[in-house]
Amino acid sequence: MWSYDGTYVTNERGKVIEVNGKQDGEGRHLDGVAKDNGFYQHWDVVYGDEWKGEPAKGDMNEDFGLYVERPFYIVSKLASHRYIDIIDNRNMVIKTRNSMKTQEWYFH
């Protein structure tokens, strides 16, 4: 289980998502590592729809900081602002925003 605090995406063991090699590059893999406050570990959650009051698809889950059943993207705070993407149905990488559903996330 992962949670988001406004900067870090963290799992139940305290590991955060980091861009492998700490470099901003298309297709870079992601790792779960100890937090070291580097920008390569900072993320924004960008919702696919515009804010129009309370979300129609669900409520804010205060424990995890995410809206239930509302699509969002996880965006690196590195210079190119690449999105987390899934490749080969099992590997997370950062990639330029595209129209693929592999970059869209939901909190259930």
The answer to the question of residue 98 being in a domain is yes
Q: What is the pTM of this model?
A: 0.53
Q: Pick the more confident residue, 18 or 52.
A: 18
CATH number for 20 = 2.80.10.50
Q: What is the extent of the structural domain holding 58?
A: 2-103
The answer to the question of residue 108 being in a domain is no
Q: Do the Cβ atoms of 76 and 94 come closer than 8 Å?
A: yes
pLDDT on residue 44 = 85
Residue 55 has pLDDT above 90, yes or no: no
The answer to the question of residue 12 being in a domain is yes
The answer to the question of residue 10 being in a domain is yes
The answer to the question of residue 58 being in a domain is yes
Domain count, the chain: 1
Q: Output DSSP code: residue 48.
A: S
The residue among 60, 43, 51 whose CA lies nearest residue 94 is: 43
Strand-pair category, 60-61 with 28-33: unpaired
Q: Please provide the average confidence, as pLDDT, over all residues in the chain.
A: 86
